Amino acid sequence: MSQNLDHKALLSLLERPQLRRLLEVFNGHGEETRIVGGAVRNALLGRPVTEVDCNTTMLPEAMVKRASAAGFKSVPTGIEHGTITVIVDGEPFEVTALRVDVETNGRQAVVHFGRDFVLDAKRRDFTINALSLGLDGQLYDYTDGAADLQARRVRFIGNAHARIREDYLRIMRFFRFHAEYAEGAPDAAGLAASGAERHGLAILSKERIRHELLRLLVARRAEETLQVLAGHGFLTWLLAGAAEFGRFGRMAASDRDRPVPIWRLAALAVMVEQDADRMRAHLRLSNDEHKKLAAYARLLAGLKTRVLPLDAIAIRRLVTEHGVETLSAVLAAVGGEPSPVVDRRAFEALERYRSGRDPVPVFPLRGADLVARGIPKGPRIGELLAKAYQAWLAEGCRTDEASAKDLLERMLAQV
Ligand code: ATP
Ligand code: MG
């Protein structure tokens, strides 16, 4: 039945020495431990498995005891949720006690620990996320997850409306997992329920939304899925503003091997600097993320009003002033728009900086150079350096010693 699922890759999980060792120690004497969730799903899809989560009949105390008896280190990463991280020969595994939801409120459920793998599977979100694998190689599938995985379909476990009302974040997760794992259109029942329950997203914390949104933006079918989100009235709410699909599409085409969530967000949602500020508040972005969006917006504004085509010399200056990362992001997003006009040589030059073949020029003067020549410490130093920097940029960011010396002399002559 599951001819396009990779059962060999699934079983080869059990041959990973550290994982096998963990499962051997955590099975037996009346207890059972299995590999669950994303690792099983991804192995069956033949995708790389980087994180392995396990479920166990044991409670955290018993896990810690067994781990230490076997010489494994354990860290109580989420002990109140029943999770500890066990480190076997340097490799960490999250091991979680089986759980049952006893109370839900649209956000985070109150859980009890149990001993039933079926109940634990049924409280998970999607059928493809509820598979588990035993140490003996047995695949457990209580929700028809393998069939959905084979059909590349993301489907809620049970009634989609009810499952969303338990935790509205599942709407975001529905689109995120669809974008990453599904083929074709979103599951009709899931889509309809998500639309009908949309209002519930408002009770979630911004951090949880941000986490899922940023993951969605780098998923394989992000572009198509964002179109679905737009078509169902989600996107304006999620971004608190407009979306630029053209730029997002170009960004996604150019960074496919190494997508960076924040640049994808920039391409999609940042048109002016105010957008960066609004995104920070709306999604509780970190300072670093906000800085990147703001830098993107400033460079974008500069380039959109540029009349001259961008050539290799202009790239040298821009890379120096704005950094390779920001410049690459903006050019990926606006490349192909009527302005700025980007020369082929400009792209080649950018590629040389990106690959590190050409070093990004570093401004050669320091305050100390001016002090050494008798300029007293104080605000004047900063002013002179700023002037020198502008002159240096305009003259092509030369980094040889003679040019630096010449620049210093010219600045001193102005004092
Ligand atoms: P990824 O590789 O993207 O991390 P994952 O399957 O590990 O995929 P996580 O978001 O890390 O996804 O969640 C781990 C597992 O926990 C999921 O596979 C799912 O079974 C369950 N899960 C996580 N969040 C929820 C939720 N809000 N509601 C129900 N189940 C959830
Ligand atoms: Mg995970």
Render pLDDT for 207-252 as a digit per residue (tens, 0 to 9). 999 999 999 999 999 999 999 999 999 999 999 999 999 999 999 9
The ligand 1 atom at the shortest distance from the C-alpha of residue 173 is: 27
Any ligand 1 atom below 6 A from CB of 125: yes
pLDDT at 335: 87
Same domain flag for 377 and 322? no
In this predicted structure, what is the pLDDT of residue 187? Answer: 98
Q: DSSP states of 265-331 as a string?
A: HHHHH-SSHHHHHHHHHHHT--HHHHHHHHHHHHHHHHHHT--SPB-HHHHHHHHHHH-HHHHHHHH
Q: Considering the domain boundaries, does residue 165 fall inside one?
A: no
For residue 164, is it within any domain? no
Over 50: is that where the pLDDT of 48 sits? yes
* Same domain, yes or no: 406 and 297: no
Whether the model clears a pTM of 0.95, i.e. scores above it, the answer is no
Q: Which domain holds residue 389?
A: 367-412
Asked whether the beta carbons of 174 and 190 are under 8 A apart, the reply is yes
Cα–Cα distances (Å) from 219 to 21, 125, 175, 177, 226, in that order, read 33, 18, 10, 8, 10
208 lines ligand 1 (CB under 6 A): no
The conformation of residue 129, written as its DSSP 8-state character, comes to G
- Which atom of ligand 1 is closest in space to residue 215's alpha carbon? 3
Count up the domains in the chain and report the number: 3
Give, using CA atoms, the residue closest to atom 26 of ligand 1.
Answer: 125
Which ligand lies nearest to the CA atom of residue 37 in the structure? 1
241 lies in the same domain as 347 = yes
Note whether 296 and 272 are same-domain residues.
Answer: yes
Residue 373, pLDDT above cutoff 60: yes
Cα(262) to centroid(ligand 1), Å: 22
167 in ligand 1 pocket by Cβ < 6 Å?
Answer: yes
Last residue of a domain, one of 360, 376, 396: 360
In a domain, 224, yes or no: yes
Alpha-carbon distance 57 to 177, whole Å? 28
Q: What is the pLDDT of residue 129?
A: 98
Q: Which residues sit with Cβ closer than 5 angstroms to ligand 2, an ion?
A: 38
pLDDT at 414: 83
Q: Is the pLDDT of residue 359 over 60?
A: yes
**What pLDDT, on the 0 to 100 scale, is given for residue 415?**
77
Tell whether the model's pLDDT for residue 2 goes beyond 70.
no
Instruction: Grade residue 392 by pLDDT with cuts at 50, 70 and 90.
Output: very high
Q: Which pLDDT score, from 0 to 100, does residue 1 have?
A: 45
Is 170 among the domain residues?
no
Q: How confident is the model at residue 148 (pLDDT cuts 50, 70, 90)?
A: very high
* pLDDT over 70 percentage in the chain: 99
Q: How confident is the model at residue 263 (pLDDT cuts 50, 70, 90)?
A: very high
pLDDT tens-place string over residues 117-143: 999 999 999 999 999 999 999 999 999
Mean pLDDT of the chain: 96
Q: Do residue 11 and residue 149 come from a single domain?
A: yes
195 is a domain residue: no
Nearest CA to ligand 1 atom 15: 37
Examine residue 169 and state whether it is found in any structural domain, yes or no: no
- Ligand 1 mutation target, pool 125, 143, 203, 205, most atoms within 8 A of CB: 125
In a domain, 174, yes or no: no
User: Do residues 132 and 227 both lie within one domain?
Assistant: no
In tens, the pLDDT along 300-328 reads 999 999 989 999 999 999 999 999 999 99
- Say how many Å lie between the CA of residue 59 and the centre of ligand 2: 21
Provide mean pLDDT across the span 35-45.
Answer: 98
Residue nearest to atom 21 of ligand 1 (CA): 124
Residues 274, 376 within the same domain: no
- Kindly state whether residues 377 and 268 are assigned to the same domain: no
Say which residues have a Cβ less than 8 Å from residue 392's Cβ, sequence separation at least 6.
363, 364, 365, 398, 407
